[in-house]
């Protein structure tokens, strides 16, 4: 299946998490939280054809790591994926809204300069600001809003702005999450786990738990599991074909589905 937002390097035993995801054949977008994590993340996935690494700078630590933005220029051309990036409007981060916005705008600008990227975007308590930021840029590629938690009005706006969405088991357990998932166009839906930050029954979710999100979507869409799998794999193929790497590095691989 597909786990389009997972922090493989933040598990207690990262190499085991990578090995399990690889053995289970899950297509994983391994998002990083700081640009400095990029080289190590690349090493971790050697020999895992279904795992891709995204270059990220998480909004929760944007104020501590702004100086690492230059690494987007250094590593950016090695990947089609940027994430985890975005904005977080939680009260404890109120003092850092300016630096978060500066970082997010810079990453969007760099994504555009590099020919566009697929972006895994965090928007907790900042949906409107994220959508405003996206609207103020162009040619940055395709935004994928991970764990969307805004209102239905904001969801309609996001859809109009061309956003895709990745939904996980934790989101799809709540009535609000289910209602949101129902409104998302099927052809813009992907699954995720957000492990190890998201939990199920006090256990951190693992990439293979993305199957549980597929089951929830089958119920929401009223189709059988096989049909959901085929929709989601088709979506992944469609999404990854939308962005091309403009300066391919020697270590960039491509295959049928997860390009």
Helix axes 210-221, 225-241, angle to 10 degrees: 110
Nearer to Zn ion by C-beta: 146 or 188?
A: 146
Q: How many CA atoms lie within 13 A of 18 on its CB side?
A: 21
Binding mask 58-97 for Zn ion (x = CB under 5 A): --------------------------x-------------
Q: Which is nearer to Zn ion, 144 or 155 (CB)?
A: 144
The least distance separating Zn ion from the CB of residue 230, rounded to whole angstroms, comes to: 27
Strands (E), the chain: 2-6, 27-31, 51-54, 81-86, 117-122, 141-146, 164-167, 189-191, 199-200, 203-204
The CB-of-189 to Zn ion minimum distance in angstroms stands at: 18
The interface with Zn ion within residues 157-176 (CB under 5 A) comprises none
Q: 8 or 229: whose CB is closer to Zn ion? A: 8
Q: Which stretch binds Zn ion (CB under 5 A): 88-96, 97-105, 167-175, 186-194?
A: 186-194
Minimum distance of Zn ion from residue 192's CB (angstroms):
8
To Zn ion, the closest distance from the beta carbon of 84 in angstroms equals: 5
> Using an 8 Å Cβ cutoff, are 73 and 35 in contact?
no
Looking at beta carbons only, is 165 or 229 nearer to Zn ion? 165
Q: How many CB atoms lie within 10 A of CB 36?
A: 15
Q: Which residues does residue 27 pair with via DSSP β-bridges, in sequence order?
A: 2
Residue placing its CB nearer to Zn ion in the complex, 124 or 229? 124
* C-alpha distances in Å from residue 218, one per residue of 44, 85, 108, 172, 191: 33, 29, 34, 11, 12
Q: How many chain residues interact with Zn ion (CB under 5 A)?
A: 2
Smallest separation, CB 60 to Zn ion (Å): 9
Closer CB to Zn ion, residue 194 or residue 209? 194
Stretch that binds Zn ion, among 16-24, 170-178, 193-201, 249-257 (CB under 5 A): 193-201
Minimum Å gap between C-beta 10 and Zn ion is 9
Which distant-in-sequence residues (6+ apart) come within 8 Å of 227 by Cβ? 218, 221
SS percent in the chain: helix, strand, coil, step 5: 50, 15, 30
Least Å from the CB of residue 224 to Zn ion? 30
- Rule CB under 5 A: say whether 194 interacts with Zn ion: yes
Candidates 29, 39, 99; CA nearest to 74 is 39
The site string for Zn ion over 94-133 (x = CB under 5 A, - otherwise) reads ----------------------------------------
Is the C-alpha dihedral spanning 171, 183, 134, 32 positive or negative?
positive
| Residue keyed to tokens 């928007």 | 123
Residues that bind Zn ion (CB under 5 A): 84, 194
């Amino acid at each position: 299946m597909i786990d389009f937002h997972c922090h493989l390097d933040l598990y207690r035993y990262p190499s085991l998490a990578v090995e399990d995801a690889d053995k289970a054949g899950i297509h994983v977008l391994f998002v990083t939280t700081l640009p400095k994590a990029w080289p190590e993340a690349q090493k971790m996935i050697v020999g895992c054809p279904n795992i891709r690494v995204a270059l990220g700078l998480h909004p929760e630590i944007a104020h501590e790591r702004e100086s690492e933005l230059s690494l987007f220029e250094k590593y950016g051309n090695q990947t089609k994926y940027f994430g985890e990036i975005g904005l977080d409007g939680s009260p404890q981060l109120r003092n850092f809204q300016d630096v978060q916005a500066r970082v997010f705008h810079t990453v969007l600008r760099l994504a555009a300069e590099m020919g566009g990227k697929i972006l895994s975007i965090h928007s907790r308590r900042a949906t409107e600001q994220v959508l405003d930021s996206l609207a103020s840029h162009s040619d940055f590629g395709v935004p994928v809003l991970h764990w969307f938690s805004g209102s239905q009005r904001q969801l309609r706006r996001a859809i109009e702005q061309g956003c895709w969405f990745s939904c996980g088991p934790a989101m799809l357990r709540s009535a609000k999450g289910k209602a949101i998932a129902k409104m998302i166009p099927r052809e813009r839906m992907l699954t995720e786990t957000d492990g190890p930050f998201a939990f199920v029954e006090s256990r951190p979710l693992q990439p293979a738990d993305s199957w549980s999100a597929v089951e929830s979507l089958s119920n929401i869409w009223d189709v059988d599991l096989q049909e959901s799998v085929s929709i989601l794999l088709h979506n992944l193929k469609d999404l990854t074909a939308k962005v091309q790497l403009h300066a391919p590095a020697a270590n960039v691989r491509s295959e049928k589905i997860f390009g």
